[in-house]
Amino acid sequence: MELYDESIINPTRDEFSYLWGLNKKTIELQKQLKCSACRERTFKILIVHLKAEDDHEYTECKIVSVCGCEDKYEDLDREYINPSFYHSIVSIADYYNEQTEHLSDFPEQLAILEEEYDYDIKKFLQQLQSQFSIHAVALLEYNSISMDGEGEWSTEVIWKDRFAFGIKKSFEGSFDLI
Ligand SMILES: [Zn+2]
């Protein structure tokens, strides 16, 4: 199944390969990834949001660093790119969510599926050519809390790599994207 245009993906160095080759330099790098306040490891989340202005759609991408500190985060990068980035990442996530439901009784196949999801997302993220290694991807969600449409934004993690199991699934607010 072709989910997105292969030609828009620019081959770049695999940002994730460093995790497999732990050497002295990498260990130094890992130390720097700790928050100076809580001493917990920090994670970089890519938040992807579709915006529209005068019939013109675009994807707003923001990379934030989060840690164990409650409600604290650091803005690292913000980019505005074509709307297909948002639509593609949503269809990849939808496809794997659907497959996951079908395979809920088959743990071995689920594990393979998860690896495929990892592979597809990481490959897709390469087109951002970000200097940061992204540990998780999240989308904004508007949750209505009353009948008149009043609600609150939350940030929902749709993918995280296996080293980022400490990341929460859901964050309150929109990380100032709204
Ligand atoms: Zn912290």
Residue 1 alpha carbon to ligand 1 centre in Å: 41
Looking at residue 72, what is its pLDDT? Answer: 84
User: Among 47, 50, 49, which residue's Cα sits nearest to residue 75?
Assistant: 47
CA-CA distance, 54 to 157, in Å (whole number)?
29
Residue 141 alpha carbon to ligand 1 centre in Å: 25
pLDDT at 28 over 60: no
Q: What's the longest Cα–Cα distance across the chain?
A: 57
Between 103 and 4, the more confident residue is 103
How buried is 138 (Cβ within 10 angstroms: 0-12 exposed, 13-18 middle, 19+ buried)? buried
Looking at residue 13, what is its pLDDT? Answer: 43
pLDDT at 14 over 70: no
pTM equals 0.80
How buried is 155 (Cβ within 10 angstroms: 0-12 exposed, 13-18 middle, 19+ buried)? buried
pLDDT at 23 over 70: no
Q: What is the mean pLDDT of residues 74-102?
A: 95
* 28-37, 91-100, 125-134 — most confident range: 91-100
Sheet containing 56-66: which strands, arranged edge to edge? 73-81, 56-66, 43-53, 136-144, 151-160, 170-172
Looking at residue 15, what is its pLDDT? Answer: 44
Residue 67 alpha carbon to ligand 1 centre in Å: 5
Q: Quick one: three-class SS letters along 11-65?
A: CCCCCCHHHHCCCHHHHHHHHHCECCCCCCECEEEEEEEEEEECCEEEEEEEEEE
User: Among 6, 3, 67, which residue's Cα sits nearest to residue 37?
Assistant: 67
Q: What is the mean pLDDT of residues 109-117?
A: 94
Looking at residue 41, what is its pLDDT? Answer: 83
Looking at residue 120, what is its pLDDT? Answer: 96
Between 9 and 101, the more confident residue is 101
Protein residues with C-beta less than 5 angstroms from the ion ligand 1: 35, 37-38, 67, 69
User: Among 73, 43, 75, which residue's Cα sits nearest to residue 61?
Assistant: 75
Q: What is the mean pLDDT of residues 44-68?
A: 93
Residue 154 alpha carbon to ligand 1 centre in Å: 20
CA-CA distance, 42 to 100, in Å (whole number)?
28
Q: Which of 11-20, 77-86, 112-121 has the lowest mean pLDDT?
A: 11-20
